[in-house]
Amino acid sequence: MRPALSVFFGLASALAGEEAQHAIVPVAAGRPVSLTAISIEREGAYPSVIRLKGAVEIKSQVCLPVGKAHKLICDGYTLLRADSATYVEATGEIKAEGAVSFTPLKHESAARKR
């Protein structure tokens, strides 16, 4: 069973002085999804639908099985940006709207890994 925990905190945003909201959402594979937006609203109890509005960023770690033992190696992340989005916790489905961009794999720099 997945934990029903989401962590919310504020961080100053470069957009018109508004404060961005952040949420870390647990997923079945154990690699949480990071949600950032000016407004984050959860509909009901976990698992629920999360609505994000304004400067949306959804970041998810990329891990692939490597070698004969299929050990998971995590290196980088996917990044979706949009004006607004809906995230379905039960399935991981994302519906993005407005100006949408998607980076399928962004590697973390070697310096950052240290």
Per the DSSP assignment, residues forming a β-bridge with 71 are 66
CB 35 within 8 Å of CB 23: yes
How long a stretch of residues is the chain?
114
- Burial of residue 7 (CB within 10 Å: 0-12, 13-18, 19+) is exposed
Question: Is pLDDT of 70 > 70?
Answer: yes
Of all residues in the chain, the percent with pLDDT exceeding 70 is 75
Least confident of 36-40, 57-61, 67-71, 102-106: 102-106
Enter the pTM of the model: 0.72
d(CA 98, CA 47): 25
Q: What integer pLDDT is reported at residue 2 of this predicted model?
A: 37
The residue-averaged pLDDT of 18-27 equals: 82
